[in-house]
Structure 1
């Protein structure tokens, strides 16, 4: 099933269904995918309104002046920011014992440090590679290499035998890496063996499968990112 088309400045505000959570998203945005992954993980009934980020509806800007995605709206409650939303969904919609982000203050803190420090640098290096910035290799293998080191003694970023919050928060960028993907020239180097194994394991996860976009489509979108000619509706 194709995703909803991306609304533009010409579109009127779509009527809401009372009591139903709404996600304002962009189909290929990694930050928005963080929210989509958590909603899928928790089985939250929701609707998706995709936003054309190059031609945003005025009503969206008025509703959320920061004008970025993701944003969730539930009746009169509104939240923006991928990590804010992801943690909120995990806290509100998890059953007892099913949190993906640890409730232990120290474990939660170390996970958030990993996301803000190592994940943040890795994400920047992914964008440098997508934009073919000069000397991108140095930063890419340095900072994405740090993620590889994190996985040298464990299957997933928080340990354990299944993906948790940290894995889902970095997956939207790591899904771009691999054969026939937008970044197809780094795994053959052999410098990221642990990350390569982790990527293959993540592809088997049911939550990831529920939110997947084909590598061909992502590659086309990333080519537009490189040239500055974004295409929002590729499916």
Structure 2
């Protein structure tokens, strides 16, 4: 099923359903995908309003002047920022004992350090890789080597048998450099064996499968990043 089309400056504000959570996103944004993964994981009834980031509706700018996605809204509550939103969803919609982010302050802090510090640097090297920037390999394998070392022999980053918060928060970028993106599969070189294994395990996860984007669409998104010409509604265009 194709995602909702991306609304532009010409589109009127879509009426809200009282009590229903709404996600304002961009379907190909890895930051918005973080939220889609968490909503799927927690089985949250919601609707998606995709925003064309090159032609944002004025009502979206009035609602959230920061003008970035993702944003969630439910009645009079509004939150922006992928990590803020995902932590909120995990806390509000998890059943007892089913949190993906540890409630222990120290463990939560360690998770956030990993996401912000080590993976934050890795994200930067992903974009250098996509853009074929000079010396991208040195930077890429240095930062991803740190992640590979962090993972070690653990199945998932938190050490359990199921993906947790950190795995879902980094997946949207890892899928880009993994074997399904059809770029050149930099994670199947044998240099990062732990991450290779992790990617194969993540691909089997039901939440990840439910939020899957086809390899040809991912490739077009990466091509668009290189050219600076953003693409929208690729699935809709394919179906017409």
**Shorter-normalised TM range:** over 0.9
Provide the secondary structure at the position in 2 that maps to 1:175. Answer: helix
Q: Which piece of structure 1 moves more, 175-184 or 141-150?
A: 175-184
**2-side partners of 1:8 and 1:144: how far apart?**
37
Question: Cα offset for 1:19?
Answer: 0.6
After superposition, the C-alpha distances for 1:64-119 in whole angstroms (9 at most, x for unaligned) are: 00110000000000000000000000000000000000011111110011011001
After superposition, the C-alpha distances for 1:159-178 in whole angstroms (9 at most, x for unaligned) are: 11110000000000001123
Partner of 2:36: 36
Partner of 1:173: 173
Partner of 1:213: 213
**1-side partners of 2:157 and 2:65: how far apart?**
34
User: Which runs of 5 or more residues in structure 2 are unaligned?
Assistant: 236-240
**2-side partners of 1:195 and 1:179: how far apart?**
12
Partner of 1:24: 24
Structure 1's 13 and 182: CA in aligned 2 closer, same or farther, altered over 3 A?
Answer: farther
Partner of 2:238: none
* CA-based RMSD: 1.0
Provide the secondary structure at the position in 2 that maps to 1:17. Answer: coil
Provide the secondary structure at the position in 1 that maps to 2:177. Answer: coil
Structure 1's 175 and 156: CA in aligned 2 closer, same or farther, altered over 3 A?
Answer: same
Partner of 1:132: 132
Partner of 1:98: 98
Provide the secondary structure at the position in 2 that maps to 1:48. Answer: strand
Partner of 1:54: 54
Alignment of 1:1-235 (within 5 A): 1-181=1-181, 183-235=183-235
User: Which runs of 5 or more residues in structure 1 are unaligned?
Assistant: none
**2-side partners of 1:31 and 1:184: how far apart?**
23
Q: Which piece of structure 1 moves more, 140-149 or 175-184?
A: 175-184
**2-side partners of 1:226 and 1:38: how far apart?**
29
Question: How many pairs align?
Answer: 235
Give the conservation status (yes or no) of the 8 Å contact 1:38–1:89.
Answer: yes
Give the conservation status (yes or no) of the 8 Å contact 1:20–1:46.
Answer: yes
Give the conservation status (yes or no) of the 8 Å contact 1:182–1:222.
Answer: no
**2-side partners of 1:188 and 1:225: how far apart?**
23
Question: Cα offset for 1:222?
Answer: 1.0
**1-side partners of 2:226 and 2:144: how far apart?**
20
Q: Which piece of structure 1 moves more, 210-219 or 40-49?
A: 210-219
Provide the secondary structure at the position in 2 that maps to 1:13. Answer: coil
Provide the secondary structure at the position in 1 that maps to 2:142. Answer: helix
Give the conservation status (yes or no) of the 8 Å contact 1:130–1:182.
Answer: no
TM-score (norm 1): 0.98
Give the conservation status (yes or no) of the 8 Å contact 1:118–1:147.
Answer: yes
